[in-house]
Structure 1
Amino acid sequence: MKKTLLNISLLAAIHILATSCSDFLDKTPTEYSSVGFYQSEAAIQTGVSGVYNSLYIDMGYLCPFNVYMEHYTGMAMERAENNTIGAGGALNPDNSAVQTWWTRNYVIIARANSVIAGSAPYLDKLSGASKQYLAEAKVLRAFAYYNLISTYGDVPFFSEPVTVDQYKDERTSKVTVLDFILSQMDEAAADLPWIAQDRGRVDKAVAYGLKARAALLGGSLNYGGKSKSYFATAAAAAKMVIGQRSLAVDFDDLFTKTGQTKADVRNEMLFELMYSDQGVKKFHVIGFGQVSRNYGQTGRHPSALLADTYECIDGKRIDESPLYDPKNPGANRDPRFKSTLWMHGDTVQGNTKGTDAGRVKFVLDVFNPTTMFYNFGTSTWESKINADINSGAAWTSFANAGVGYMWRKFSDEANESISSTTCNVPLMRYAEVLLTYAEAKIELNELDNTVYEAINMVRNRSGMPNVSADRIGNQDKMRQLVRRERKVELMLEGLHFVDMRRWKIGDIENDSPSYGYPVALTKDAQGYITSGGYADATPDMVPNFKKTPRHDLNDIANYDAYKSKLKVRDANRFWNEKFNLYPIPTVERDRNPNLTQNEGY
């Protein structure tokens, strides 16, 4: 009999377990051998809990992978200049994040394979929820394989525990892996309810949603020359979910602990990483790593490319709307702008301790050494040192390492400590399914009312107008709109990391420095701005989105006409076509010489 073997890199990571707020996730199996263990519902449930626990892939500083990986695109940035693994010199086979992403997804696969294969001899006698749990394991395994093929392309493929003979296997075609994902989701869906009884479990909506997401990838990149077929599959799978779930009433509720207690939010959140302040606390520090130096440790920043993607409330892009004002660029914008971003002049509320004593409230200022803070004891505003400008760590702030914007999304918590937040993190929302359906139908040039209705539901929820009349029946204009919607609706949820590659726009997102707020031209002896900045912005300081038809289609702003007046960083940012795929980690190729490297690395 062949001795079963987990990949060495998986063995190194297999002990890393996470807990969660749900009972079913609190259980961690102590044995991953498939021999005689998974004979009962209880054993299978415990084994699948281990698969769920593997989803907590922290790419750094207790920040979930989907949030972190958005900063590997042109829509966001890490605080170190030109050091992102999305564009620039840091993307190489020895990068630790490249290795972590590979290894941790294979941990998910290994654990799922152990449960699925280990239970196979006992399927006829299994009862209760056993088949549901096994279906969940198949969905989670497919999720990991989707992550791998969307990042690395062809990858080693195993649907059972790895044997000694398989340890030197070559990479399997991404087309084969994708087709496996699609077939598995149909199989899994048959044994899943439309909405899981226990929050945090995957269900039928997730299975079909993942099928739609994966097929959209295959269609966009024309896997196996089957683009049209994959788009049709994506549309059909998304359509299965439409009507089975619904959107939350308030967009902001989706990203706060209080909001996530509401039933309508639960309905939209198809798949989420679960966190809790109960029992053994399970928390993340997303907010701490992206807010002002006045109460956090800024390390990740949104870009002006993202900020300038949001339409004005009339439904027009900022270069086309009379409502856009360079002196006050946050005014009259799609409400999701304010829900996702904070900028100069905004009032920020937060908490450093999770108690009344830890409450903070102040005005963001990108220019001056002091700003206004609210004194909760006296109910008055008072001037204090602005750590974003006047502190030893000010170099990391949204004014210096960033370009004038901060993430409000996942940061707007007034009651919990910003350094131990327990709001859940969405991995899939109903809004994504609606936009996936619309995009697939648009790519098929099947522009019917269902497409407009799907997009309108997402836009109307945030108070934006319906699809404009000039877009009806126009494939290019609809393609532009659905891509815009995916950015402004889903940013910081991990999807643009793949979307940028699906749409083949990495070059135009990353071919220029990162520009931002209008800089101060002069300051007085005390360091206060006297000219320049937003107050002196002129009407011509509006980005050019029409540098090329591709820039126009994808809403990529160009600032060349007035770049000398703007904050700039990443002067040496660059894009290479090889970045569309990540390199196979060096350590994996050392262990398995049959693993070929992606082109260019």
Structure 2
Amino acid sequence: MKKIFFLFGVLLLGMTTSCEKFLTREPENEIGSINFMTKEADLELYANGFIQRHMPGEETLAWGDQYSDITATRTSTSFLIRDTWTADLQGGWSGGSSGTWSELRNVNYFLDNLPKARANVSDEVYRHYEGVGRFWRAYFYYGMVQTFGDVPWYEKALEVDEQELLMKPRDSREYVMQKVLEDLNFASENCSIDPKYVASSTVVNKWVALAFKSRVCLFEGTYRKYHPKNPSTGKDWENGGQGVDLFLKEAANAAQILIDAQVYGLVNNPSNVSTQYRSLFTSEALNTREVILGIKFQADVRMHSMTWKLFSASFGNNWSLTQDFVNHYLHLDGSRFTDDPNYMTKNYQENFVNRDNRLKQTVVGPDYERRVGGTVRKDAPNFALTSTGYQLIKWAIDDDVHVGIATSNNSVPMFRYAEVLLNYAEAKAELGEFGIPEWNNSIRLLRERAGVDGASPTSADPYLANYYHNVSDMWLLEIRRERTVELVHENLRYDDLMRWRLGEKTAQTWNGIYFAAKDTPYDLNNDGIMDVAVVDAEPPAASRVPGVVYVVLGSSYRLTNGTSGNLEFGFQQSREWSDRKYLRPIPTTALQMNNNLEQNYHWK
């Protein structure tokens, strides 16, 4: 969904003066001289522009999951509020010199003009940059297909007089995704593995292409499996849905090649088990052992505001994880937390006892410490910053010097080796080709990195089977568990819900920590200071306990059992789900400009 909030205009711009300028002018990487793009330095310069224009920003990567089932936010998106969204409100199709389709034109312009350099660069360099261009074209179309389904396919930069092409109807999703696969195959076979492209983990290379291919193909294969009909047309998939196995095999193969290359691996030092996972998201340096592609930040050079937003009562969206999410984590011995008959009444502190080490590296736990005013001290969940009690810290630097100012310098991964292992495992399991060997080479590695016994399961988890109600396979349930905890807030959860056909979970009420009673202050981290109390009405000043945040039940909060239970939040937001929301509508403006475009089936 994060890919669809951009407000641009329309693709078919040849009908206005501004459109003609857009279609005929040189792309913005500019240098429109006929002598440009004739040597390797030119190709490198142009390709670096794709990084700036196409890669999602740090906040998209960190907050892209915010409108999902496992993250509570104090405000939601209009798309999920009731069922009032219309094609008139929809953007994200195209428009202007910086709009969506101009991004594609820049890529196609690059590919169209690449032959100008052939005589001046080696064949290896030429093929590398063609692969880079085709990677970004695949990246563009993957986002468009996720958002709109069927879209027109263009593989050359259009000119203003090509009205027939400009006014063409949408191509089928099956056709477009086959072309995307062709582009990714070329990129993964031809992009270079020269250290100058690989060492920094900041530019596209063969390994990046393979990682992305595993993501794209897993998405498309599972999307077609769990959606029996193409939501763009309301009809069966072309060729009887044969693309399911095709894309799942391509996902598994791409991941397998990357795994076998042994270029990357999990950061795993048993002595750092309580910190090494989170260090991937809070360190200035991209950990090139595990990070395949990321965004580099550096103190006093390039910084961002993520820590500020996580610790600001007014600047952020109070990103908070849910009890359902926390229930996914196993005990350190590999046993299931939800097998305990009393798990539903465990308090905040009990939720962290002997749990997977990733839990306390993702949310504020009872032992969490950070630097405040220059002094390191224990810090409890702050209900001015969290709506559930499970306060997100995965992307935060533990120093309040970054609160109130955009000085965070932690670099941001986009593709990690951990995701490749998960893509491999899920694709193989969906194909029915998953067993103990595949488990040991994927899920077991992730669990043992977190200090969890990595032994394979012996039965399906009934808690997960209820939560992911369209799956009963033991392996798939455990893979979904692992994907949930390992990749939380890495811009993948919403897409997972869409491909698994679990969109209704975006409308569920969020549940937080368990309170045994109202009107009782709780010390959440045993530092001798009371932190929170749940009340029907905020007490008068004279009766307030110092340091306590009073959570008032009523319009925004309630307890599941009335006077006790999990703190519930989000029911006041009127979020609703309907199946048509698996795709966005084609914007009305686009349909008006090109009557050959057809509205998505459920939005007609």
- TM-score when normalising by structure 2: 0.74
> Identity over aligned residues, as a percent?
23
Report the alpha carbon displacement of residue 464 of structure 1 after superposing the two structures with TM: 1.5
Change (3 A) 1:594 1:307: farther
**1:213 maps to which residue?**
215
Question: In structure 2, which of residues 260, 277, 287 is the aligned counterpart of residue 251 of structure 1?
Answer: 277
Report the alpha carbon displacement of residue 495 of structure 1 after superposing the two structures with TM: 1.2
Contact persistence 1:54–1:104 (CA under 8 A):
no
Report the alpha carbon displacement of residue 101 of structure 1 after superposing the two structures with TM: 12
Moved more, 586-595 or 107-116: 586-595
Moved more, 479-488 or 565-574: 565-574
Q: Deviations for 1:180-223, whole angstroms, at most 9, x for unmatched residues?
A: 22222221223323461443012211111222211112211226
For 2:352, the aligned partner's letter is G
Give the Cα–Cα distance (whole angstroms) in 2 for the partners of residues 229 and 161 of structure 1: 30
Question: In structure 1, which of residues 323, 326, 342 is the aligned counterpart of residue 346 of structure 2?
Answer: 326
Report the alpha carbon displacement of residue 481 of structure 1 after superposing the two structures with TM: 0.5
**2:51 maps to which residue?**
52
Matching of residue 306 in structure 1 with residue 301 in structure 2: no
**2:422 maps to which residue?**
435
SS at match of 1:403: coil
SS at match of 2:307: coil
SS at match of 1:287: helix
Q: Deviations for 1:260-314, whole angstroms, at most 9, x for unmatched residues?
A: 35xxx21211121232335xx3333223222353x96454333333222222223
**1:180 maps to which residue?**
179
Change (3 A) 1:87 1:510: farther
SS at match of 2:64: helix
**2:484 maps to which residue?**
487
Contact persistence 1:292–1:406 (CA under 8 A):
no
SS at match of 2:292: strand
Give the Cα–Cα distance (whole angstroms) in 1 for the partners of residues 433 and 179 of structure 2: 27
Contact persistence 1:5–1:161 (CA under 8 A):
no
**1:276 maps to which residue?**
298
Change (3 A) 1:438 1:86: farther
Give the Cα–Cα distance (whole angstroms) in 2 for the partners of residues 34 and 187 of structure 1: 29
Q: Deviations for 1:401-426, whole angstroms, at most 9, x for unmatched residues?
A: x2222211111343872433222222
**1:240 maps to which residue?**
257
The 5-angstrom pairing of residues 350-429 of structure 1 reads 361-366=377-382, 388=383, 394=384, 397-398=385-386, 402-414=387-399, 417-418=402-403, 419-429=406-416
Contact persistence 2:369–2:378 (CA under 8 A):
yes
For 2:138, the aligned partner's letter is A
Report the alpha carbon displacement of residue 107 of structure 1 after superposing the two structures with TM: 4.6
Matching of residue 117 in structure 1 with residue 134 in structure 2: no
**2:121 maps to which residue?**
126
Contact persistence 2:327–2:338 (CA under 8 A):
no
For 1:286, the aligned partner's letter is M
**1:43 maps to which residue?**
42
Question: In structure 2, which of residues 438, 451, 456 is the aligned counterpart of residue 463 of structure 1?
Answer: 451
For 1:458, the aligned partner's letter is L
Moved more, 451-460 or 65-74: 65-74
Give the Cα–Cα distance (whole angstroms) in 2 for the partners of residues 449 and 361 of structure 1: 44
Report the alpha carbon displacement of residue 430 of structure 1 after superposing the two structures with TM: 0.7
SS at match of 1:470: coil
Contact persistence 2:518–2:564 (CA under 8 A):
no
Matching of residue 136 in structure 1 with residue 132 in structure 2: yes
Change (3 A) 1:70 1:35: farther
Structure 1 residues not aligned, in runs of 5+: 18-27, 352-356, 367-387, 389-393, 535-558
For 1:482, the aligned partner's letter is I
**1:375 maps to which residue?**
none
SS at match of 1:597: coil
Moved more, 92-101 or 194-203: 92-101
SS at match of 1:306: helix
Structure 2 residues not aligned, in runs of 5+: 1-11, 225-236, 269-275, 461-470, 521-538, 552-558
Give the Cα–Cα distance (whole angstroms) in 1 for the partners of residues 149 and 155 of structure 2: 17
- TM-score when normalising by structure 1: 0.75
Give the Cα–Cα distance (whole angstroms) in 1 for the partners of residues 29 and 321 of structure 2: 39
Contact persistence 2:90–2:586 (CA under 8 A):
no
**1:349 maps to which residue?**
370
Contact persistence 2:381–2:389 (CA under 8 A):
no
Give the Cα–Cα distance (whole angstroms) in 1 for the partners of residues 427 and 420 of structure 2: 11
For 1:227, the aligned partner's letter is V
Report the alpha carbon displacement of residue 6 of structure 1 after superposing the two structures with TM: 12
**2:544 maps to which residue?**
527
Q: Deviations for 1:475-530, whole angstroms, at most 9, x for unmatched residues?
A: 801000001111100111111121111111112x2343222223561157533499
Report the alpha carbon displacement of residue 465 of structure 1 after superposing the two structures with TM: 1.6
SS at match of 1:567: strand
Report the alpha carbon displacement of residue 460 of structure 1 after superposing the two structures with TM: 1.1
Change (3 A) 1:13 1:307: farther
Report the alpha carbon displacement of residue 562 of structure 1 after superposing the two structures with TM: 7.3
SS at match of 1:338: coil
Contact persistence 1:287–1:411 (CA under 8 A):
yes
**Two-structure CA RMSD over aligned residues (Å):** 3.9
**2:67 maps to which residue?**
72
Report the alpha carbon displacement of residue 362 of structure 1 after superposing the two structures with TM: 5.0
**1:335 maps to which residue?**
357
Give the Cα–Cα distance (whole angstroms) in 2 for the partners of residues 10 and 409 of structure 1: 46
Matching of residue 290 in structure 1 with residue 310 in structure 2: yes
Give the Cα–Cα distance (whole angstroms) in 1 for the partners of residues 280 and 593 of structure 2: 43
**1:505 maps to which residue?**
502
Report the alpha carbon displacement of residue 89 of structure 1 after superposing the two structures with TM: 5.1
Change (3 A) 1:530 1:289: closer
